């Protein structure tokens, strides 16, 4: 069965997370993604704890459905080999520092001479232009510079990094989206494209309502812990056993919440009648709600509130997430075979088509696992491949 991106060939020079996670999304949809790595394996993500045997679980999370070829791009023979591969490729993804491809002689204009309609997606911390373009940009630094840390955490505590590399993850989505758009443009016009993605740009674009509040009113949002600056009650409350997140997003939901708690008087209380009133009297309302939530366990409150269609849920750890009945029903864990680890579990791609199955068809590749097979597909003989290996090219 053909996948949506069957026939699309991607050469992936990217490392760590933002680029590889984006190319994995495209690989899940059927693109042939070939990771190009240095022979000694310089992708940091391969060396990050924890490990299963000698394989990094971090690496395994972002590289399924790909192939791995080792090429030393600092050697002229390696550059020539990469250019040969480019002639049959649709897309190149890279996240070297700005200017690295030019120094290697593998920049967009050079690649266009190998294939006129090639698409190059460049991912950097700060982009290809501007005063910061030459600086490295890792996820936590961009969270800090891009304003995310300043609005994350409790009011009386320090600015806090989000628990996952969320800027890298958001960037990976833009990698996939921009490449799909460039492929569509190529199909219509025959033109290739150079995509310039900046982690900082993407973080700034992802500030959402926080950015809008500032740009339109000059309001500078502050940390509010788990509360929402514009809606209440829209935060966590400690129950008899553990906390629960409640998002009563409108007046109707608040009135239902009041009824469930047996506090009908809140519905007519001028302090709480509208969301604006509740915002103005946030602390008074929170104290009343805290006392009520402590009377039952989180699961009991979840059942009561969910029956009334009030969005809510307990604060789960990762083990509880994968044991959640909805996560199980949506089949979000998938199993695949690995040559050295046996059966491994990874998180399933969340895209669900009606008529197409998105699944893991191959394991995250071992370094250089497909070098010989792919180079032979490009017409190299066994003796040529052996010579390249002996010369440190592959």
Q: Are 16 and 171 in contact (CB under 8 A)?
A: no
- Residue 304 makes CB contacts below 8 A (sequence gap 6+) with 260, 296
Residue 1: predicted pLDDT: 58
Mean pLDDT of 233-256: 97
Closest CA to 11 of 37, 29, 30: 37
Could you give the dihedral angle defined by the CA atoms of residues 301, 304, 307 and 310, in that order, rounded to the nearest 10 degrees? Answer: -50
Instruction: State the Cα–Cα distance between residues 140 and 142, nearest whole angstrom.
Output: 5
What are the DSSP calls for 367-384, one per residue?
TTTTHHHHHHHTT--HHH
Mean pLDDT of 265-289: 97
pLDDT for 67 beyond 80: yes
pLDDT tens-digit map of 100-147: 999 999 999 999 999 999 999 999 999 999 999 999 999 999 999 999
pLDDT for 15 beyond 80: yes
245: exposed, middle or buried (Cβ count in 10 Å: 0-12, 13-18, 19+): middle
State the pLDDT confidence band at 42, using cuts at 50, 70 and 90: confident
Residue 2: predicted pLDDT: 81
Closest CA to 292 of 271, 320, 265: 265
User: Mean pLDDT over all residues of the chain?
Assistant: 96
Closest CA to 221 of 148, 144, 139: 148
Token duo for residue 120:
């190059």
pLDDT for 261 beyond 90: yes
Instruction: State the Cα–Cα distance between residues 274 and 5, nearest whole angstrom.
Output: 49
Token duo for residue 164:
């996952």
Q: Are 346 and 334 in contact (CB under 8 A)?
A: yes
User: Which residues are designated catalytic?
Assistant: 168
| Cβ neighbour number for residue 111 with a 10 Å cutoff | 24
- Please tell me the pTM assigned to this model: 0.93
Instruction: State the Cα–Cα distance between residues 69 and 372, nearest whole angstrom.
Output: 8
pLDDT tens-digit map of 329-350: 999 999 999 999 999 999 999 9
């Amino acid at each position: 069965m053909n996948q949506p991106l069957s026939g699309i060939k991607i050469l992936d020079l990217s490392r760590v997370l933002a680029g590889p996670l984006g190319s994995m999304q495209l690989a899940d949809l059927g693109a042939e993604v070939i990771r190009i790595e240095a022979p000694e394996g310089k992708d940091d993500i391969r060396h990050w704890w924890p490990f299963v045997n000698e394989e990094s679980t971090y690496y395994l999370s972002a590289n399924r459905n790909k192939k791995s070829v080792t090429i030393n791009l600092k050697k002229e023979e390696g550059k020539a080999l990469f250019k040969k591969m480019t002639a049959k490729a649709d897309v190149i993804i890279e996240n070297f520092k700005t200017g690295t491809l030019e120094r290697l002689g593998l920049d967009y204009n050079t690649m266009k001479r190998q294939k006129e309609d090639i698409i190059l997606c460049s991912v950097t911390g700060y982009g290809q232009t501007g005063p910061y373009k030459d600086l490295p940009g890792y996820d936590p630094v961009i969270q800090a510079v891009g304003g995310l840390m300043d609005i994350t955490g409790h009011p009386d505590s320090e600015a806090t990094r989000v628990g996952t590399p969320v800027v890298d993850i958001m960037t990976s989505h833009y990698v996939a989206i921009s490449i799909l758009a460039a492929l569509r443009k190529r199909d219509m016009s025959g033109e290739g494209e150079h995509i310039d993605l900046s982690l900082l740009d993407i973080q700034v674009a992802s500030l959402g309502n926080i950015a809008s509040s500032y740009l339109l009113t000059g309001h500078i949002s502050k940390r509010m812990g788990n509360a929402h600056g514009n809606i209440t009650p829209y935060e966590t409350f400690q129950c008899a056993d553990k906390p629960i997140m409640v998002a009563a997003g409108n007046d109707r939901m608040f009135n239902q919440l009041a009824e469930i708690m047996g506090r009908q008087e809140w519905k007519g209380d001028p302090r709480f009648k509208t969301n604006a009133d509740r915002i103005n009297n946030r602390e008074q309302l929170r104290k009343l709600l805290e006392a009520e939530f402590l009377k039952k366990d989180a699961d009991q409150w979840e059942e009561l509130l969910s029956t009334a269609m009030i969005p809510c849920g307990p604060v789960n750890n990762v083990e509880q997430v994968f044991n959640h009945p909805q996560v199980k029903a949506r089949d979000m864990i998938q199993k695949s075979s690995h040559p050295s680890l046996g059966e491994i579990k990874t998180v399933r791609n969340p895209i669900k088509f009606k008529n197409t199955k998105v699944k893991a068809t191959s394991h995250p590749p071992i370094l250089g696992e497909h070098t010989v097979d792919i180079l032979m597909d490009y017409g190299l003989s066994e003796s040529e491949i052996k010579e390249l290996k002996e010369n440190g090219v592959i």
